[in-house]
Amino acid sequence: MPPLTRQLSRMSIFSWWSDRNAGPTINLHQFAKPLLRFLHHRQALAIIKRNRGSPLSVATLEIYSSYLPWDFVSWSTKAAILSEIADQTLSSEVDAIAVVDSPVFPFLPQMLEADDPGVKSASWRLIGNLAVHESIVSTILGLQVCGKLVLLLRHQDSRVVWAATHALSRLARWLDGAKSIVDAQAFHCVLELLASANPEARKRTCELVGTLASHAATAPVILELQVSVQLMCLLHDADPVVVGAAAYALSEIAPWLDKEKVSVDAETLGRILELLRSPNSDVRRWTCRLVGRFAQYGLVASERQQLNLCSQLVLLLTDSNATVVRIATFALSQIAAFAAGADAIINAGALCYIPELLESTNPRLGMWACTLITNLARHTPNASALLELDHSITHKLATFLRNHDNETRDASSFALDIVIDWLDEASAPTAMDEGLHSILHPNILDEGRGVVSWVFLFAWLGHLTHRPCPSFSSGLTP
């Protein structure tokens, strides 16, 4: 049989190009792969947009997981999916648990080791957001992430460094996480990161320092680094976010400082006064907390310092930000524990704001207002000025005895106790009757919430027998 030979075909203009070329001159696969990546990316973004704002369902997480293991899916697609999951798990523990139980989680170690900085940073940000929820921390620590995070602190990509410090600061909130970070020697990079050119890295490192200092078990490690000087320098940082984080870190370190060796110098005080006037509410908030912690542990000793600080703090009692008002009240309550501080508060005109603070519906603000009254009333001249200001103070204090917040009820009972000691014989019975009426209210006696009532009851009996009652000194912080 003769070999097959190509037979001549009729010439056609449609075959002219192919007849004159030996084969295809374009690599179709070279164009098909980018096209496939583009189509997958567009499809993934559409799915993300369609499900944004809705709880993470099993079906949605299964779809997301289907994109993660394949090489033909682009890095940008994987980063977008992981970022979306990270955003939703930050505020919802239900979504965070759903992620841990989903097919996405087994792929997370692979994503953490990805070569692409975008995927790597999104994965570590997801780890940090999952670590916000205490119920998941042990699962996260089971991935042995702390050692890997330490290596990433010197990564050349700033996004990865930020994500690593973010994850560390979130893990450090929990004692087990803080211990794991210390065991991984992560603290050795702290001084270097505080001087980083990346403001986000500086901010997250300040948060990490503050969080580690908040645990008695890990605070000594931070004290050994002697970071206070560097944090004081960061109070002058150009980025207000960094300034706020530095103030937070210093407020957590303050309890461990030796007040005999550490004091607030004039330059630092001047900067603190500037920060209390900052247009940034977070800076004002954390600076108020720093002042309160300094006062709480006796680091603000000068009478002139106290007067200057109190004048500015009193102005913040009318701040537009409710959190700033609450923490400014906390700071004043701690300064008032000292006789000179109480005088400074009176001289700064704080008394006229107290009735309004007691009208607040925020139980935490009410608690610090009660603490402020208690500490002011310890000093005889101040107590009389307080009672002359508003004769309904005792009534307002008594109403807090009905509050559902235990600490607020405790603070109000102690305040009422010490204020009654300063009332004249005609006014004291009325105040005590108001207090007894409040503690016998059904809302207080229900569900065992009447325990704090005994504090006031014993104070009342103590007043009748002319025996001194204990004063209230708060060791709490806002």
Higher pLDDT, 77 or 427: 77
Give 65-122 as a DSSP string. Answer: HTTSS-TTS-HHHHHHHHHHHHHHHHH-HHHHHHHHTSTHHHHHHHHHT-SSHHHHHH
Higher pLDDT, 71 or 25: 71
Indicate whether 364 belongs to any domain: yes
Number of domains comprising the chain: 1
Distances (CA, A) of 35 to 29, 39, 41, 74, 278: 10, 6, 10, 11, 51
Angle at 364 between CA 361 and CA 369, to 5 degrees: 85
Query: What is the model's pLDDT at position 324?
Result: 95
Distances (CA, A) of 65 to 16, 61, 103, 122, 452: 48, 6, 6, 15, 52
By mean pLDDT, which of 203-212, 319-328, 343-352 is the weakest? 343-352
Indicate whether 42 belongs to any domain: no
Query: What is the model's pLDDT at position 407?
Result: 80
Indicate whether 397 belongs to any domain: yes
Average pLDDT of 437-454?
46
159 burial (CB, 10 Å; 0-12 / 13-18 / 19+) is middle
Exposure on the CB side of residue 400, measured as CA atoms within 13 A: 34
Indicate whether 390 belongs to any domain: yes
Mean pLDDT (the chain) is 80
pLDDT for 232 beyond 80:
yes
Task: Give the C-alpha separation, 65 to 104, whole Å.
Answer: 5
pLDDT for 28 beyond 90:
no
The domain in which residue 361 lies consists of 352-478
pLDDT for 1 beyond 90:
no
pLDDT for 33 beyond 60:
yes
In sequence order, which residues have a C-beta less than 8 Å from that of residue 17 and are 6 or more positions away? none
pLDDT for 447 beyond 80:
no
Q: What is the pLDDT of residues 288-340, one digit of tens each?
A: 999 999 888 777 656 676 778 899 999 999 999 999 999 999 999 999 888 88
146 burial (CB, 10 Å; 0-12 / 13-18 / 19+) is buried
Indicate whether 175 belongs to any domain: no
**This prediction's pTM:** 0.77
Indicate whether 466 belongs to any domain: yes
Indicate whether 102 belongs to any domain: no
Task: Give the C-alpha separation, 284 to 289, whole Å.
Answer: 9
Query: What is the model's pLDDT at position 467?
Result: 41
Closest alpha carbon to 205 in 153, 256, 155: 153
End-to-end CA distance of the chain: 98
Average pLDDT of 337-363?
86
pLDDT for 446 beyond 70:
no
Indicate whether 436 belongs to any domain: yes
382 burial (CB, 10 Å; 0-12 / 13-18 / 19+) is buried
Query: What is the model's pLDDT at position 171?
Result: 92
pLDDT for 80 beyond 50:
yes
Give 151-187 as a DSSP string. Answer: HHTT-SSHHHHHHHHHHHHHHTTSHHHHHHHHHTTGG
Q: What is the pLDDT of residues 369-418, one digit of tens each?
A: 989 988 888 876 666 666 666 556 777 777 777 777 778 877 877 787 77
pLDDT for 276 beyond 90:
yes
DSSP state of 4: P
